[in-house]
Chains A and B, each alone.
Chain A
Amino acid sequence: MNAAHAPVARLAGVTLEYGATRALDIAELTLPARCMVGLIGPDGVGKSSLLALVAGARQLQQGRVEVLDGDMANPSHRRRTCPNIAYMPQGLGKNLYPTLSVQENLDFFARLFGQGAEERARRIDHLLRSTGLAAFRERPAGKLSGGMKQKLGLCCALIHDPDLLILDEPTTGVDPLSRNHFWELIERIRQQRPQMSVLVATAYMEEAERFDHLVAMDAGRVLACGSPAQLRAAAGCASLEETFIALLPEEKRRQHQPLRITPRALAAGPAEIAIEARGLTCRFGDFVAVDAVDFRIERGEIFGFLGSNGCGKSTTMEMLTGLLAASEGEALLFGQAVDPRDMATRRRVGYMSQAFSLYSELTVRQNLVLHAQLFHVPTERIESRVAEMAERFELQKVMEALPERLPLGVRQRLSLAVAVIHGPEILILDEPTSGVDPIARDRFWQLMLDLSRNDGVTIFISTHFMNEAQRCDRISLMHAGKVLDSDTPQGLMDKRGLDSLEQTFVAYLQEAAGTDQPSDFAMPTAAPHTARPARFSLLRLFSYAWRESLELRRDPIRGSMALLGSVLLMFIIGYGISLDVEDLAFAVLDRDQTGSSQNYILNLSGSRYFIEQPPLRDHADLERRMRSGEISLALEIPPHFGRDIKRGASPEVGVWIDGSMPTRAETIKGYVQGMHAHYLQELAQRSPQAGQPSPASLEVRYRYNPDVESLKAMVPAVIPLLLMLIPAMLTALGVVREKELGSIINLYVTPVTRLEFLLGKQLPYIALGFLNCLLLVLLAVTLFDVPLKGSPLTLMLGGLLYVTCATGLGLLMSTFTRSQIAAVFGTAIATLVPAIQFSGLIYPVSSLEGLGAWIGQLYPTSHFLVISRGAFSKALGLGDLYGYFIPLLIAIPALTLLSANLLKKQER
């Protein structure tokens, strides 16, 4: 039936290498159109890489990938087809924006695909109603449960009617009920739009059973293709899970042994209770996350915890470990209440949280050793213990590798190894096997059974896999913070009279939640996109700008910190940077002690520049006090100073200046010379010798700030400083954060171009920066009384261009760094020093030297500083200052183009 249609994708000779490892090696693969195609295989075999290549998210290294009748290596084909492809990456809600609401996330994607307001509203409405998300319209995406996040991700993928839907492990970490809803939804959509092809990677073999066509993969290669029935028949196995194992190469198959579940040997007499919860309750505000939960777990028991996403499983576990304090009730470990301060109990417990939380910067060995050390395993035993763990958890080959580079299954084994390295008596494991392939999961369970049966370790585990729940000694079903029932798996099935645990579980949940059947899916038909998307679209640019401004609004602390912080700093710095050097401490060694010498000293001490300190006793005193920084100027007036002057013997006054701060020393030098000259002048006037003409005078006029008020002179210079540092830091994390958190993928797979992406991100910050500029100028004029003598319009125009430069610089730092720390540090280096030291704030740019002079001439702050000083203090307008606008006008496109060049439209 598929033969009638051209295949949706065709791969030939595709290889993909990350460093030395070959991730993909596909000679020939054809994926049929109009059906559900599943990719199955263990972790780290290249499923995700394959999907990313087909979606166009990852750059092709070698070979040919044709999708929807075109070559994906060709950028213009990618641009044309990307509206027809929807890609949902691995990880819960990885491409969503956590602070935006459900509605806003959808709106953003709809805008990216160029839909009008009315069309957007209609589509979002339909999608939300058909997925049952309508009630959560206003909830931030970050606060949704895992299942709901995946549904929202699906809605975002479906908003533009794709012809090819690519889902990378969409149901990993999602509870069975939500999983059912998810697949029903896809089924209904396919009925509506039969032309749509779906490509899914999954770790659940039960799910794979439903697909039309399967591709089994291992080690980057395709093992077999065909319908589930064909594959089963070819391998001669009853279930797909067995089929898959049979397909693996010989050596891998040998590693796998069917899991043997040994029943727990029951001790005679009353069993010791290892974990007990009594009416355990946890509230967050009004929300009750865990509601009066009771259970008792015996020593050596494997106790399973099942429940829908967000039902309080993790919260209960966190209370047991002491991470979270119980609002009510109590948790007991070995009969003792959990006390977070009790280090001794922590040593008896091993905990593995839902998210991978080991140090990704440390190697496997370093992680193991660190944890052994922190749990105070005796030093001499650490080495043997680490070796033992490595052997038991089969980590020997990866001991020197970084966890990031390992497949999920291996990482989970490492997490478990870390959790048991100190030989704990209780293990608390929160969804340890989520996203792990069936073979690795079986091995994982073998290890746990081993721990429980042989070492008597009590294991408390939560899971979404029913076959795992089946292996537990007892399980608890949880929903909305309450325990619905606890029993052996068989006991629960018997109670409901159902054959499978999954059905039992779903029945329990439906009873508790009430059936909420989503309404029928009826997508309004849209005009088919035949037109190739425009090369540059303002709509897409604005949709990024809109989203960025929403995120800015959701984080009011950042915006207000920028505005209030800049005002505060304008005042402190404007007030604090002193124009002139004054109040200098000086002391005198007066060996004359006459009226003349005192007259001479009065010259200095009477001025506002100098403050006289107690007189100096001798040279040693002078030396000591100057060394300690107590005085920065010392005078020595020679004996017979007064007499010598009268005689015309020209006595010499000794002057010592502290040169440790050259600016200050220069100024002191200038002052002392001036003062000395003044003294001589006065002396001459008073001299009885007639006919001695008084020398000429030099009148000094300080222009632009005649009263020499620090604040008025400094504010026009501080404003440019602030408007560089703050806007640059605001944008500095814009791109790198998306890289770290994963939403950068939307740049790769939607029609948005790099330029639209960058400019869209920049716009809100330009607006914020301009508002900041306006606020600073306004406050400077009104509150601080700094006169704005020139053209306000010129100043604001310059300000607008300048904050554009500053935000552009921040984005540039953000595009070429890889970690957020490096971006923060890099931006601090790239702004603080050039703006404070090389831009004319303190030293005029013309007098700088070397590299600093170059930076000063290029740096935007230098130019805006001239504009600001000109407009504020010198009464200048555009006509006088236009020359300084030109460098800014050049810098803006230069910065943006440089960023666009450094940014990649595909992952490498």
Chain B
Amino acid sequence: MKMNEVDRGARRDSARGKLANVFHLGVKELRSLARDVALLILIVWAFSLGVHTAATSMPESLHHASIGIVDEDRSQLSARIVDAFQPPYFRPPQMIDLNQMDRGMDAGIYTFTLNIPPNFQRDLLAGRKPSIQLNVDATQVSQAFSGAGYIQAIGASEVADFLRHYRASTSEAASLAMRVQFNPNLTRSWFGSVMEVINQITMLSIILTGAALIREREHGTVEHLLVMPVTPFEIMLAKVWSMGLVVLVAAALSLLLVVQGWLQVPIEGSLALFLLGAALHLFATTSMGIFFGTVARSMPQLGLLIILVLMPLQILSGGTTPRESMPELVQQIMLAAPTTHFVSLAQAILYRGAGLDIVWPQLLAITAIGSLFFLGALARFRRTLAQMA
């Protein structure tokens, strides 16, 4: 009986001791970070000017699209069509000939060229169904498709207007009433700013923890820790909470000051809920950082590894192009990345004002992935430490 009591007491004591260790080691990480001025400047840059630049540089989807027009008709109608292409969607159309059309597209001067055939207006009125040719440079990913849709719509409506005017015919058979939800003017910076904050969160947390671990290994301080009554679990947890906290605070400030304050982006949903998601996401990414820190043997290897992982995370998580349009296989693979869930969670909360009742599946997924990563990293970390000494 007595032994048991002593045992239990010791266990309670050691649990408190463990927490204290995690806390003190984490404070040590924060103090170390505070000494690296260059790194602090880079962090501040990433979350302020970095976010601002990325947000404000992004064009509205059809913005300043370059178009060249070969007008072989030179009729009233063709002039109307040419005039319909207006800034800011299009650059003033360049009137060119057929020769220039091919060369211009080859050199990438025109993303679109429109060829209005001779006698277009006459044929139209005669009901001969003439057709306009639209050439699209399909290598210009972002503009090619939406631009083509726009130009088609513009062409059709000009033709219809012209006919209606000419014939004084009745109105359209049916009309559309379009409403864009959550971002009525489709302001690109709303999207770009928040996605950039997310990119910075992922990048910074992975680099900070991974590099902090490699630095401790290169300077021999990990070995020093291991002769003290500290376990690998505590060392790792300390790094996770401290680096996670730094990034979380930076991200929160960035959202409040840069995104909401400077860029005037309205945030729909609950910032607190978003930060909860961010904290869980950071748990996963800092674990990833630790994992890379154990896989790489030196800083040069770590740098390369991080770049190789960050690139797909940034491009394929749904923050750059829509996820549903990616090939099935890529979609499935990217489900294993915490960023995918985090991006969709962030979009739901910040733009669409979704609440916990809607985003709980994402929260759950991030927690599950984070726990897996954490356990995997811990196992590896334990093994490397055993080999290292």
Contact = CB atoms under 8 A, between A and B. Distances in A.
A452 B136 CA distance: 86
A817 B38 contact: yes
Contact of A558 (B151, B159, B300, B348): B300
Interface stretch (B187-195, B245-253, B280-288): B187-195
Nearest to B130: A696
Instruction: Kindly name the residue among A324, A580, A826 whose own CB sees the greatest number of chain B CB atoms within 10 A.
Output: A580
Interface of B is mostly: helix
Given A665-B180, A676-B176, 11 more contacts: A374-B230, A561-B304, A578-B322, A629-B344, A663-B61, A670-B152, A697-B129, A701-B134, A821-B36, A824-B207, A824-B211
A355 B156 CA distance: 78
B131 interface: yes
Nearest to B63: A847
B31 A828 contact: no
Given A343-B14, A575-B330, A659-B180, A820 B187 contact: no
A565 B304 contact: yes
What 3 A-B pairs come out closest when comparing CB atoms?
A852-B57, A670-B149, A659-B183
A851 B307 contact: no
A650 B175 contact: yes
B64 A842 contact: no
Contact of B61 (A347, A653, A662, A846): A662
Interface in A547-583: 555, 557-558, 561-562, 565, 569, 572-573, 575-583
Interface of A is mostly: helix
A468 B281 CA distance: 55
Contacts of B170: 648
A246 interface: no
B136 A561 contact: no
A710 to B, nearest CB: 8
A674 B131 CA distance: 16
Q: Which of B139, B181, B182 is the most central at the interface, judged by chain A CB atoms within 10 Å of its CB?
A: B139
Interface string B102-134: 000111100100000000100011010111111
Given A666-B146, A730-B304, A374 B175 contact: no
Contact of A680 (B108, B138, B174): B174
A732 B65 CA distance: 37
A146 to B, nearest CB: 16
Contacts of B143: 843-844, 847
A840 B204 CA distance: 25
A85 to B, nearest CB: 31
Interface residues of A, number: 158
Contact of A651 (B174, B352, B354): B174
Contact of A674 (B46, B153, B160, B320): B153
Contact of A832 (B56, B60, B311): B311
A673 B176 contact: yes
A359 B183 contact: no
Contacts of B127: 693-694
B319 to A, nearest CB: 9
A650 B172 CA distance: 6
A870 B134 contact: no
Given A373-B24, A670-B146, A659 B186 contact: yes
Interface stretch (B1-9, B221-229, B365-373): B221-229
B173 A819 contact: no
B168 interface: no
15 contacts: A359-B221, A374-B21, A374-B225, A573-B315, A581-B322, A583-B324, A660-B183, A665-B183, A696-B130, A700-B148, A721-B311, A722-B311, A726-B304, A821-B207, A849-B57
Contacts of A817: 38
A711 to B, nearest CB: 9
A555 B304 CA distance: 13
A837 interface: yes
Contact of B181 (A361, A600, A626): A626
B39 A824 contact: no
Contacts of B347: 629, 660-661
B149 A655 contact: no
Interface stretch (B92-100, B212-220, B254-262, B271-279): B212-220
A253 interface: no
A444 B347 CA distance: 62
A697 B131 CA distance: 5
A702 B120 CA distance: 22
Contacts of A245: none
Interface in A603-644: 624, 626-629, 641, 644
Given A558-B304, A650-B173, A572 B330 contact: yes
A654 B179 contact: yes
Interface in A371-406: 371, 373-376, 402
A578 B223 contact: no
Interface string A871-884: 00111100010000
Contacts of B14: 343
